């Protein structure tokens, strides 16, 4: 897909999300900040219950320069439809309708509203910032929590080794709707993320971006390790950078060699309990997934 080049050098100096109360090193706040810098001031943003709305709307202080609203937890997709219809009815021109929801708000409680918005073919951009748990309420497991992660609802001890389920694949679930544009991203590969947000803004219909945004508080990493953790996740093959458009998947990055999975896992306290067998199981899952990707997408 073509789009005017926008990158870390020529992106605007204007800030649209500042003064918020996110923890130091919060990956989600970086995703919101960079998405809004890419899309600009005439972006109407909806955020459901979750960390980004909790830290962004502190009455009487609104931390968004844009027109921003908190949606119901389950309703991001449907509120985007309403915003798009409202803007059209007012005859507005040159604007974007953006939703930014967490992994719980997207893959669990908000999945049917998102599915409906895609089905209605509304011109809306939906970004899931994925920190792999319900962070705002104290780190509970979501449908996007990975295998082995310790959360308050998937404890780890002698007999239990954290979450027993694999992460849902929201990117491929969304692609199965035959959406005009979907992508995966990581805040560690910020130029790739920015370019994908720009492409999404050029689509005449719904678009979806799934961006990994580590949470130092929930992952148990130092606050200055957010980007490194996000990078390691891509480089060790537990996340991939891809797009879906015109009915096909496109892999954006195909590492010749993966970095060490255990190095990625062991830098986070949420995985501290994992045994060598657990890690072997995770590596096997990674290899099976990449074999399928390389067979079917390249």
Ligand X SMILES: Cc1ncc(C[n+]2csc(CCOP(=O)(O)OP(=O)(O)O)c2C)c(N)n1
Interface residues with ligand SF4 (CB under 6 A) are: 22-23, 26, 28, 51, 55, 131, 135-136, 215-218
Binding site partner of 217, from ligand SF4, ligand X, Mg ion, none, Cβ cut-off 5-8 A by kind: ligand SF4
Phi, psi of 296 (to 5 degrees): -100, -25
Binding site partner of 180, from Mg ion, ligand SF4, ligand X, none, Cβ cut-off 5-8 A by kind: none
Binding site partner of 214, from ligand SF4, Mg ion, ligand X, none, Cβ cut-off 5-8 A by kind: none
Pick from 33, 43, 46, 50 the residue near ligand X by CB under 6 A: 50
Closest approach, Cβ 110 to ligand SF4, in A, equals 17
Closest approach, Cβ 211 to ligand SF4, in A, equals 13
Would you count residue 31 as binding ligand X (CB under 6 A)? no
Closest approach, Cβ 96 to ligand SF4, in A, equals 23
Q: Considering only 136-144, 153-161, 189-197, 284-292, which stretch makes contact with ligand X by CB under 6 A?
A: 136-144
Q: Which of 212, 239, 230, 232 is nearest to 293 (CA)?
A: 239
Count of chain residues binding ligand X (CB under 6 A): 16
Q: Of the two residues 104 and 180, which places its CB atom closer to ligand X in the complex?
A: 104
SS (H, E, C) the chain: CCCCCCCCCCCCCCCCECCCCCCCCCHHHHHHHHHHHHHCCCEEEEECCCHHHHHHEECCEECECCCEEECCCCCHHHHHHHHHHHHHHCCCCCCEEEEEEEHHHHHHCCHHHHHHHHHCCCCCEEEEEECCCECCCCCECCCCCCCCCCCCCCCECCCCECCCCCCCCHHHHHHCCCCCEEEEEECCCHHHHHHHHHHHHCCCCCEEEEEECCCHHHHCCCHHHHHHHHHHHHHCCCCCCEEEECCEEEECCCCCCCCCHHHHHHCCHHHCCCCHHHHHHHHHHHHHHHHHHHHHCC
Pick from 25, 27, 56, 105 the residue near ligand X by CB under 6 A: 105
Q: Considering only 39-47, 133-141, 180-188, 193-201, which stretch makes contact with ligand X by CB under 6 A?
A: 133-141
**Tokens 């974007």 belong to which residue?**
96
Q: Of the two residues 26 and 203, which places its CB atom closer to ligand SF4 in the complex?
A: 26
CB 118 within 8 A of CB 44: no
Binding site partner of 145, from ligand X, Mg ion, ligand SF4, none, Cβ cut-off 5-8 A by kind: none
Q: Of the two residues 74 and 195, which places its CB atom closer to ligand X in the complex?
A: 74
Of all residues in this chain, which one has the CB nearest to ligand X in the complex? 102
Pick from 104, 146, 148, 214 the residue near ligand X by CB under 6 A: 104
Binding site partner of 137, from Mg ion, ligand X, ligand SF4, none, Cβ cut-off 5-8 A by kind: ligand X
- Residues in contact with ligand X by CB under 6 A are 28, 49-52, 73, 102-105, 131, 134-137, 142
């Amino acid at each position: 897909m073509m789009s005017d080049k926008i990158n870390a050098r020529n992106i605007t100096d204007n800030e649209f999300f500042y003064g918020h109360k996110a923890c130091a090193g919060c990956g989600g706040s970086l995703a919101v900040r960079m998405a809004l810098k890419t899309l600009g001031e005439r972006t109407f943003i909806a955020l459901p219950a979750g960390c980004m709305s909790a830290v962004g709307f502190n009455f009487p202080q609104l931390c968004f320069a844009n027109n921003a609203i908190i949606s119901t937890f389950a309703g991001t997709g449907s509120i985007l439809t309403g915003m798009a219809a409202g803007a059209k009815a007012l005859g507005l021109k040159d604007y974007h309708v953006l939703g930014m929801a967490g992994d719980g708000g997207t893959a669990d409680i908000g999945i049917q509203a998102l599915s409906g918005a895609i089905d209605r073919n509304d011109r809306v951009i939906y970004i899931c910032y994925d920190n792999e748990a319900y962070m705002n309420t104290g780190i509970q497991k979501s449908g996007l929590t990975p295998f082995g992660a310790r959360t308050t609802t998937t404890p780890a001890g002698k007999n239990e080794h954290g979450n027993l389920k694999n992460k849902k694949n929201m990117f491929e679930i969304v692609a199965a709707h035959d959406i005009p544009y979907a992508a995966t991203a990581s805040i560690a590969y910020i130029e790739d993320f920015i370019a994908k947000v720009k492409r999404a803004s050029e689509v005449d219909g719904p678009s979806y971006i799934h961006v990994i945004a580590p949470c130092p508080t929930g992952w148990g990493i130092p606050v200055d390790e957010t980007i490194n953790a996000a990078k390691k996740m891509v480089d060790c093959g537990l996340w991939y950078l891809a797009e879906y458009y015109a009915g096909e998947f496109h892999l954006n990055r195909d590492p010749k060699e993966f970095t060490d999975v255990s190095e990625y896992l062991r830098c986070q306290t949420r995985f501290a309990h994992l045994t060598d067998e657990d890690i072997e199981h995770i590596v096997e899952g990674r290899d099976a997934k990449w074999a399928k990707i390389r067979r079917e997408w390249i």
